[in-house]
Structure 1
């Protein structure tokens, strides 16, 4: 076994997010947990894109939350419209240092800090087709099970 590994030993951390994006994600996760949604960060979608946060509600509703940590982060990333085909509701999440008016009105908006989030604007509903919903739920469940297994294996190796 190498002394220094270039890979994280924690299967729940992939290291691609900035500290500010992770701060927003933690606040959003606390808000969504309070709303009784289950979450999967960094979920690969059928389109090949990776959603920052996918949430599953008690009735099977699927939300995607796209985290933007700065104005520049929002302006340089144009992949988010593709996420609509994978969710019932699409949200942006950011922190109080980013102006809310840069985000499209036809998406929800969450403003978060490290401790919590506030649902600034609800997202309009765009109901998924049954086949797409089933595929997303299977993708969500398989990713959650795979990550749990990796976390258990990492914990037992230590």
Structure 2
């Protein structure tokens, strides 16, 4: 079994995801989920999102243990472009798991979803996420001003991209 594997999210992942997002300092991501029921509801929307070609969400497993999530959102005006996002449990950060998950997710995007371009946006303060993009061969295209919101505040993001 490969040590890092992604698979479509399942409803039974809800408790693990909720535990991860409530105990991990994910300071560069705003999570609207505040309860386990809200997490279950979010996961229940995945099939509808896939069928609408809107979003494809995956669980990240490390030696079979759920340690994070990743996904591709499809640009609804340019459906040949997808945006990758990811997060990893605090106990598993810095181990190359996100890098491998992004590589697997990219393969899904280019080969199964027929995307021509994949982007990764990250808060300019999120150096770990920037390293993931660089390790995966994404090229920095610039800085997007005030594009990322956390609470009432807006932050700049780096735009990294890779084309097919």
TM-score range, shorter chain: 0.3 to 0.5
- TM-score scaled by structure 1? 0.39
Report the structure, 1 or 2, having the larger strand content.
2
- TM-score scaled by structure 2? 0.38
* Greater relative contact order (Cα < 8 A, sep 6+): 1
